[in-house]
Amino acid sequence: MRELRVELEERSYPIYIGEGLLNETGAMFEKHGITAKSPVLIISDENTAGLYLRRVEDALKQKGYRTASYSVPAGEQSKTLALLQDAVTVALEAGLDRSSTVIALGGGVVGDLAGFVAATYMRGIRFVQIPTTILAHDSSVGGKVAVNHPLAKNIIGAFHQPDFVLYDIDTLKTLPIREVRAGLSEVIKHGLIWNEDFAYWCEANASKLLALDSEALIYALYEGCKVKSIVVSQDERENDLRAILNLGHTIGHALEAVAGYGELLHGEAIAIGMIGAARISVKMGQPQDVLTVTERIFNAFGLRTAIPAHLDTDSIMSAMMHDKKFKEGTMVFILPKAIGKVEIHKDVPISLVKETVDFLKQ
Protein backbone atom coordinates (compact mmCIF):
# COMPACT_ATOMS: atom_id res chain seq x y z
CA MET A 1 0.00 0.00 0.00
CA ARG A 2 1.20 3.51 -0.78
CA GLU A 3 0.09 6.62 1.03
CA LEU A 4 -0.06 10.14 -0.34
CA ARG A 5 -0.90 13.18 1.74
CA VAL A 6 -2.95 15.96 0.18
CA GLU A 7 -1.66 19.09 1.94
CA LEU A 8 -4.45 21.54 2.68
CA GLU A 9 -3.58 22.86 6.15
CA GLU A 10 -6.23 21.67 8.62
CA ARG A 11 -8.13 20.01 5.77
CA SER A 12 -5.17 17.78 4.79
CA TYR A 13 -5.93 14.11 4.25
CA PRO A 14 -4.30 10.87 3.11
CA ILE A 15 -5.00 8.79 0.02
CA TYR A 16 -4.26 5.08 0.53
CA ILE A 17 -3.64 3.19 -2.70
CA GLY A 18 -3.22 -0.58 -2.76
CA GLU A 19 -4.70 -4.05 -3.03
CA GLY A 20 -7.32 -5.60 -0.78
CA LEU A 21 -8.17 -2.31 0.91
CA LEU A 22 -11.98 -2.66 0.91
CA ASN A 23 -11.64 -5.23 3.67
CA GLU A 24 -9.75 -2.64 5.73
CA THR A 25 -12.55 -0.06 5.65
CA GLY A 26 -13.51 -0.60 9.30
CA ALA A 27 -9.90 -0.60 10.46
CA MET A 28 -9.29 2.64 8.57
CA PHE A 29 -12.34 4.22 10.21
CA GLU A 30 -10.87 3.34 13.59
CA LYS A 31 -7.45 4.62 12.61
CA HIS A 32 -9.04 7.95 11.68
CA GLY A 33 -10.83 8.19 15.00
CA ILE A 34 -14.31 7.90 13.56
CA THR A 35 -16.82 7.01 16.27
CA ALA A 36 -18.83 3.79 16.01
CA LYS A 37 -21.69 5.49 17.87
CA SER A 38 -22.96 7.30 14.78
CA PRO A 39 -24.28 5.46 11.72
CA VAL A 40 -22.44 5.54 8.39
CA LEU A 41 -24.20 6.08 5.04
CA ILE A 42 -22.67 4.29 2.05
CA ILE A 43 -23.67 5.81 -1.31
CA SER A 44 -23.01 3.71 -4.40
CA ASP A 45 -24.48 3.12 -7.84
CA GLU A 46 -26.21 0.03 -9.20
CA ASN A 47 -22.91 -1.39 -10.48
CA THR A 48 -20.70 -0.74 -7.50
CA ALA A 49 -23.48 -1.73 -5.06
CA GLY A 50 -23.78 -5.15 -6.68
CA LEU A 51 -20.04 -5.68 -6.77
CA TYR A 52 -18.64 -4.13 -3.59
CA LEU A 53 -21.27 -2.86 -1.14
CA ARG A 54 -21.44 -6.07 0.87
CA ARG A 55 -17.65 -6.14 1.37
CA VAL A 56 -17.57 -2.57 2.66
CA GLU A 57 -20.59 -3.13 4.93
CA ASP A 58 -19.04 -6.30 6.37
CA ALA A 59 -15.69 -4.63 6.98
CA LEU A 60 -17.43 -1.83 8.88
CA LYS A 61 -19.71 -4.15 10.83
CA GLN A 62 -16.75 -6.22 11.98
CA LYS A 63 -15.46 -3.12 13.74
CA GLY A 64 -18.84 -2.29 15.25
CA TYR A 65 -20.04 0.38 12.83
CA ARG A 66 -23.73 0.57 11.88
CA THR A 67 -24.39 1.25 8.22
CA ALA A 68 -27.18 2.37 5.92
CA SER A 69 -26.90 2.37 2.17
CA TYR A 70 -28.31 4.27 -0.77
CA SER A 71 -27.71 3.33 -4.38
CA VAL A 72 -28.42 5.39 -7.51
CA PRO A 73 -28.71 4.41 -11.19
CA ALA A 74 -25.31 4.37 -12.93
CA GLY A 75 -24.30 7.44 -14.92
CA GLU A 76 -24.15 11.19 -15.00
CA GLN A 77 -27.96 11.59 -14.81
CA SER A 78 -27.74 10.62 -11.14
CA LYS A 79 -26.00 13.84 -10.13
CA THR A 80 -29.24 15.67 -9.32
CA LEU A 81 -30.81 17.57 -6.45
CA ALA A 82 -33.67 15.07 -6.51
CA LEU A 83 -31.33 12.18 -5.70
CA LEU A 84 -29.51 14.31 -3.14
CA GLN A 85 -32.85 14.73 -1.39
CA ASP A 86 -33.51 10.96 -1.57
CA ALA A 87 -30.10 10.32 -0.02
CA VAL A 88 -30.89 12.76 2.78
CA THR A 89 -34.16 10.91 3.40
CA VAL A 90 -32.20 7.69 3.85
CA ALA A 91 -29.71 9.51 6.09
CA LEU A 92 -32.48 10.90 8.31
CA GLU A 93 -34.27 7.57 8.53
CA ALA A 94 -31.04 5.86 9.51
CA GLY A 95 -30.41 8.48 12.20
CA LEU A 96 -27.22 10.01 10.81
CA ASP A 97 -26.01 12.79 13.10
CA ARG A 98 -23.25 15.40 13.11
CA SER A 99 -20.62 12.76 13.91
CA SER A 100 -21.71 10.49 11.06
CA THR A 101 -19.80 9.77 7.87
CA VAL A 102 -20.89 9.48 4.25
CA ILE A 103 -18.91 7.02 2.12
CA ALA A 104 -18.76 7.35 -1.69
CA LEU A 105 -18.35 3.86 -3.12
CA GLY A 106 -18.01 4.31 -6.86
CA GLY A 107 -16.68 6.45 -9.66
CA GLY A 108 -16.74 10.21 -10.04
CA VAL A 109 -20.51 10.38 -10.27
CA VAL A 110 -21.03 8.76 -6.89
CA GLY A 111 -18.06 10.72 -5.49
CA ASP A 112 -19.54 14.06 -6.52
CA LEU A 113 -23.07 13.25 -5.34
CA ALA A 114 -22.06 11.62 -2.04
CA GLY A 115 -19.56 14.40 -1.40
CA PHE A 116 -22.27 16.99 -1.82
CA VAL A 117 -24.56 15.04 0.50
CA ALA A 118 -21.74 15.05 3.08
CA ALA A 119 -21.08 18.77 2.49
CA THR A 120 -24.70 19.77 3.04
CA TYR A 121 -26.23 17.27 5.49
CA MET A 122 -26.45 19.16 8.81
CA ARG A 123 -24.17 21.78 7.18
CA GLY A 124 -21.40 19.28 6.65
CA ILE A 125 -20.39 15.89 8.04
CA ARG A 126 -17.42 13.57 7.48
CA PHE A 127 -16.77 12.18 4.05
CA VAL A 128 -14.74 9.13 2.95
CA GLN A 129 -14.07 8.27 -0.67
CA ILE A 130 -13.70 4.74 -1.96
CA PRO A 131 -13.05 5.35 -5.67
CA THR A 132 -13.71 2.42 -8.00
CA THR A 133 -12.78 3.93 -11.36
CA ILE A 134 -9.43 5.19 -12.68
CA LEU A 135 -11.00 8.50 -13.58
CA ALA A 136 -11.97 8.94 -9.94
CA HIS A 137 -8.28 9.42 -9.01
CA ASP A 138 -8.98 12.89 -10.32
CA SER A 139 -12.15 13.50 -8.31
CA SER A 140 -10.57 12.06 -5.14
CA VAL A 141 -8.23 15.05 -4.92
CA GLY A 142 -9.38 18.62 -4.59
CA GLY A 143 -12.63 18.47 -2.68
CA LYS A 144 -14.91 19.67 -5.46
CA VAL A 145 -18.32 18.07 -4.98
CA ALA A 146 -21.44 18.87 -6.93
CA VAL A 147 -24.66 17.91 -8.65
CA ASN A 148 -25.86 19.08 -12.06
CA HIS A 149 -28.66 21.47 -12.99
CA PRO A 150 -30.60 20.83 -16.22
CA LEU A 151 -28.92 23.95 -17.64
CA ALA A 152 -25.36 23.36 -16.41
CA LYS A 153 -23.06 20.61 -15.19
CA ASN A 154 -21.57 20.72 -11.65
CA ILE A 155 -23.22 24.09 -11.01
CA ILE A 156 -24.64 23.31 -7.56
CA GLY A 157 -21.75 22.32 -5.36
CA ALA A 158 -19.23 22.98 -2.65
CA PHE A 159 -15.65 22.38 -1.60
CA HIS A 160 -15.66 19.54 0.93
CA GLN A 161 -12.47 17.58 1.57
CA PRO A 162 -12.68 13.91 2.55
CA ASP A 163 -11.23 12.54 5.82
CA PHE A 164 -9.38 9.98 3.74
CA VAL A 165 -9.48 8.18 0.40
CA LEU A 166 -9.27 4.40 0.22
CA TYR A 167 -8.26 3.40 -3.30
CA ASP A 168 -8.51 -0.38 -3.65
CA ILE A 169 -7.10 -1.16 -7.09
CA ASP A 170 -8.64 -4.64 -7.03
CA THR A 171 -11.99 -2.97 -7.73
CA LEU A 172 -10.67 -1.70 -11.06
CA LYS A 173 -10.58 -5.27 -12.44
CA THR A 174 -14.32 -5.22 -13.07
CA LEU A 175 -14.24 -1.96 -15.04
CA PRO A 176 -15.08 -2.16 -18.76
CA ILE A 177 -11.85 -1.70 -20.75
CA ARG A 178 -13.22 1.45 -22.35
CA GLU A 179 -13.56 3.01 -18.87
CA VAL A 180 -10.01 1.91 -18.03
CA ARG A 181 -8.60 3.58 -21.13
CA ALA A 182 -10.63 6.75 -20.67
CA GLY A 183 -9.61 7.01 -17.01
CA LEU A 184 -5.96 6.65 -17.96
CA SER A 185 -6.33 9.68 -20.21
CA GLU A 186 -6.63 11.92 -17.10
CA VAL A 187 -3.66 10.12 -15.52
CA ILE A 188 -1.60 10.93 -18.62
CA LYS A 189 -2.86 14.53 -18.46
CA HIS A 190 -1.30 14.87 -15.03
CA GLY A 191 2.04 13.83 -16.54
CA LEU A 192 1.64 16.20 -19.47
CA ILE A 193 0.94 19.25 -17.33
CA TRP A 194 3.55 18.76 -14.62
CA ASN A 195 5.91 15.81 -14.82
CA GLU A 196 7.80 14.96 -17.99
CA ASP A 197 9.33 11.76 -16.58
CA PHE A 198 5.93 10.48 -15.55
CA ALA A 199 4.46 11.25 -19.00
CA TYR A 200 7.19 9.18 -20.66
CA TRP A 201 6.81 6.48 -18.02
CA CYS A 202 3.11 6.24 -18.95
CA GLU A 203 4.00 5.75 -22.60
CA ALA A 204 6.53 3.03 -21.79
CA ASN A 205 4.08 1.25 -19.46
CA ALA A 206 0.91 1.58 -21.52
CA SER A 207 0.36 -2.14 -21.97
CA LYS A 208 0.96 -2.88 -18.28
CA LEU A 209 -1.51 -0.19 -17.30
CA LEU A 210 -4.13 -1.39 -19.76
CA ALA A 211 -3.69 -4.90 -18.35
CA LEU A 212 -4.14 -3.45 -14.83
CA ASP A 213 -0.77 -4.66 -13.62
CA SER A 214 -0.91 -3.91 -9.88
CA GLU A 215 2.51 -2.38 -9.43
CA ALA A 216 2.17 -0.14 -12.49
CA LEU A 217 -1.34 0.91 -11.53
CA ILE A 218 -0.43 1.82 -7.96
CA TYR A 219 2.49 3.88 -9.24
CA ALA A 220 0.39 5.63 -11.91
CA LEU A 221 -2.48 6.48 -9.57
CA TYR A 222 -0.01 7.69 -6.94
CA GLU A 223 1.80 9.95 -9.40
CA GLY A 224 -1.45 11.19 -10.98
CA CYS A 225 -2.95 12.02 -7.57
CA LYS A 226 0.36 13.61 -6.55
CA VAL A 227 0.38 16.06 -9.44
CA LYS A 228 -3.21 17.02 -8.79
CA SER A 229 -2.58 17.40 -5.09
CA ILE A 230 0.45 19.65 -5.63
CA VAL A 231 -1.62 21.89 -7.90
CA VAL A 232 -4.63 21.92 -5.59
CA SER A 233 -2.49 22.56 -2.50
CA GLN A 234 -1.18 25.70 -4.15
CA ASP A 235 -4.60 26.86 -5.33
CA GLU A 236 -7.43 25.13 -3.47
CA ARG A 237 -10.19 27.45 -4.71
CA GLU A 238 -9.22 27.78 -8.36
CA ASN A 239 -7.87 31.29 -8.49
CA ASP A 240 -5.19 30.69 -11.11
CA LEU A 241 -2.85 27.66 -11.11
CA ARG A 242 -5.66 25.12 -10.82
CA ALA A 243 -6.74 26.10 -14.33
CA ILE A 244 -3.82 24.07 -15.76
CA LEU A 245 -5.75 20.92 -14.79
CA ASN A 246 -8.04 21.84 -17.68
CA LEU A 247 -5.52 20.88 -20.37
CA GLY A 248 -7.57 19.35 -23.19
CA HIS A 249 -10.86 20.29 -21.56
CA THR A 250 -11.79 23.31 -23.70
CA ILE A 251 -12.08 21.24 -26.87
CA GLY A 252 -12.96 18.11 -24.86
CA HIS A 253 -16.03 19.60 -23.19
CA ALA A 254 -17.26 20.94 -26.52
CA LEU A 255 -16.89 17.49 -28.11
CA GLU A 256 -18.79 15.87 -25.25
CA ALA A 257 -21.58 18.43 -25.56
CA VAL A 258 -21.92 18.14 -29.34
CA ALA A 259 -21.57 14.35 -29.48
CA GLY A 260 -24.19 14.08 -26.73
CA TYR A 261 -22.98 12.77 -23.40
CA GLY A 262 -22.28 9.08 -23.83
CA GLU A 263 -20.89 8.83 -27.36
CA LEU A 264 -17.52 10.02 -26.11
CA LEU A 265 -16.47 9.28 -22.55
CA HIS A 266 -14.93 12.25 -20.74
CA GLY A 267 -11.42 10.82 -20.89
CA GLU A 268 -11.78 10.05 -24.60
CA ALA A 269 -12.93 13.60 -25.34
CA ILE A 270 -10.11 15.24 -23.41
CA ALA A 271 -7.49 13.01 -25.08
CA ILE A 272 -8.58 14.50 -28.40
CA GLY A 273 -8.63 17.91 -26.70
CA MET A 274 -5.02 17.47 -25.56
CA ILE A 275 -3.99 16.63 -29.13
CA GLY A 276 -5.82 19.79 -30.25
CA ALA A 277 -4.05 21.91 -27.61
CA ALA A 278 -0.67 20.45 -28.67
CA ARG A 279 -1.38 21.24 -32.33
CA ILE A 280 -2.42 24.83 -31.49
CA SER A 281 0.72 25.18 -29.41
CA VAL A 282 2.97 24.08 -32.27
CA LYS A 283 1.18 26.46 -34.64
CA MET A 284 1.90 29.23 -32.13
CA GLY A 285 5.61 28.50 -32.20
CA GLN A 286 6.39 25.65 -29.81
CA PRO A 287 8.58 22.77 -31.03
CA GLN A 288 6.94 20.06 -33.16
CA ASP A 289 7.91 17.49 -30.51
CA VAL A 290 5.14 18.71 -28.23
CA LEU A 291 2.63 17.37 -30.73
CA THR A 292 4.43 14.23 -31.93
CA VAL A 293 5.14 12.98 -28.41
CA THR A 294 1.60 13.74 -27.21
CA GLU A 295 0.20 11.80 -30.16
CA ARG A 296 2.58 8.92 -29.52
CA ILE A 297 1.49 8.65 -25.88
CA PHE A 298 -2.23 8.56 -26.65
CA ASN A 299 -1.65 6.10 -29.49
CA ALA A 300 0.17 3.80 -27.08
CA PHE A 301 -3.06 3.64 -25.07
CA GLY A 302 -5.30 3.14 -28.07
CA LEU A 303 -7.07 6.40 -27.32
CA ARG A 304 -8.47 8.05 -30.41
CA THR A 305 -6.74 11.23 -31.47
CA ALA A 306 -9.21 12.39 -34.15
CA ILE A 307 -12.58 14.09 -33.81
CA PRO A 308 -15.45 11.88 -35.02
CA ALA A 309 -15.99 13.12 -38.58
CA HIS A 310 -19.77 13.51 -38.27
CA LEU A 311 -19.49 16.20 -35.58
CA ASP A 312 -20.15 19.63 -37.02
CA THR A 313 -17.27 22.13 -36.69
CA ASP A 314 -19.55 25.14 -36.15
CA SER A 315 -21.44 23.34 -33.39
CA ILE A 316 -18.15 22.44 -31.72
CA MET A 317 -17.00 26.06 -31.97
CA SER A 318 -20.19 27.46 -30.52
CA ALA A 319 -20.14 24.91 -27.69
CA MET A 320 -16.62 26.12 -26.90
CA MET A 321 -17.56 29.80 -26.94
CA HIS A 322 -20.55 29.10 -24.77
CA ASP A 323 -18.39 27.16 -22.33
CA LYS A 324 -15.53 29.60 -21.93
CA LYS A 325 -14.87 33.29 -21.51
CA PHE A 326 -13.41 34.85 -24.63
CA LYS A 327 -12.42 38.25 -25.86
CA GLU A 328 -13.10 39.48 -29.36
CA GLY A 329 -11.42 37.07 -31.78
CA THR A 330 -9.39 35.15 -29.17
CA MET A 331 -9.88 32.40 -26.62
CA VAL A 332 -8.23 31.30 -23.39
CA PHE A 333 -6.43 27.96 -23.70
CA ILE A 334 -4.12 25.83 -21.60
CA LEU A 335 -1.30 24.99 -24.01
CA PRO A 336 1.67 22.63 -23.63
CA LYS A 337 5.05 24.35 -23.83
CA ALA A 338 6.95 21.11 -23.57
CA ILE A 339 6.09 17.64 -22.30
CA GLY A 340 5.39 18.18 -18.59
CA LYS A 341 4.90 21.95 -18.88
CA VAL A 342 1.86 24.03 -19.73
CA GLU A 343 1.01 27.71 -19.98
CA ILE A 344 -2.24 29.62 -19.83
CA HIS A 345 -2.73 31.57 -23.08
CA LYS A 346 -5.32 34.29 -23.22
CA ASP A 347 -4.84 35.19 -26.86
CA VAL A 348 -5.37 32.08 -28.97
CA PRO A 349 -7.00 33.20 -32.25
CA ILE A 350 -10.44 31.67 -32.71
CA SER A 351 -9.55 31.13 -36.37
CA LEU A 352 -6.64 28.87 -35.32
CA VAL A 353 -8.89 26.87 -33.01
CA LYS A 354 -11.39 26.38 -35.84
CA GLU A 355 -8.65 25.36 -38.26
CA THR A 356 -7.41 22.84 -35.68
CA VAL A 357 -10.86 21.36 -35.12
CA ASP A 358 -11.29 20.98 -38.89
CA PHE A 359 -7.88 19.38 -39.24
CA LEU A 360 -8.55 16.87 -36.44
CA LYS A 361 -11.66 15.67 -38.21
CA GLN A 362 -9.61 14.19 -41.04
Closer residue to ligand NAD, CB minimum distance, 186 or 203 = 186
The contact mask relative to ligand NAD for 298-337 (x = CB under 6 A, - = no) is: ----------------------------------------
> What number of chain residues touch ligand NAD (CB under 6 A)?
29
Catalytic, 242? Answer yes
Closer residue to ligand NAD, CB minimum distance, 87 or 110 = 110
Q: Is 250 in the site for ligand NAD (CB under 6 A)?
A: no
Catalytic, 149? Answer no
Number of H helices, E strands in the chain: 15, 11
Task: Please list the residues that pair with 14 across neighbouring strands.
Answer: 5
β-strands 13-18, 164-168 pairing: parallel
Part of the chain binding ligand NAD (CB under 6 A), chosen from 69-77, 158-166, 214-222, 335-343: 69-77
Was 266 annotated as part of a binding site? Answer: yes
Instruction: Kindly state the smallest distance separating residue 105's Cβ from ligand NAD, in Å.
Output: 9
Report which of 64, 46, 4, 25 is spatially closest to residue 168, judged by C-alpha positions: 25
The contacts of residue 332 (CB under 8 Å, 6+ apart) are: 250, 324, 325, 326, 344, 345, 346, 348
Q: Is 133 in the site for ligand NAD (CB under 6 A)?
A: yes
Instruction: Kindly state the smallest distance separating residue 135's Cβ from ligand NAD, in Å.
Output: 4
Angle between helices 289-300 and 177-194 (to 10 degrees): 150
Catalytic, 238? Answer yes
What SS3 string covers 265-299?
A: CHHHHHHHHHHHHHHHHHHCCCCCHHHHHHHHHHH
Catalytic, 299? Answer no
d(CA 335, CA 333): 6
Task: Please list the residues that pair with 103 across neighbouring strands.
Answer: 42, 128
Q: Is 110 in the site for ligand NAD (CB under 6 A)?
A: yes
Instruction: Kindly state the smallest distance separating residue 324's Cβ from ligand NAD, in Å.
Output: 17
Instruction: Kindly state the smallest distance separating residue 309's Cβ from ligand NAD, in Å.
Output: 25
Q: Is 154 in the site for ligand NAD (CB under 6 A)?
A: yes
DSSP state of 184: H
Annotated binding site for Zn(2+): 186, 249, 266
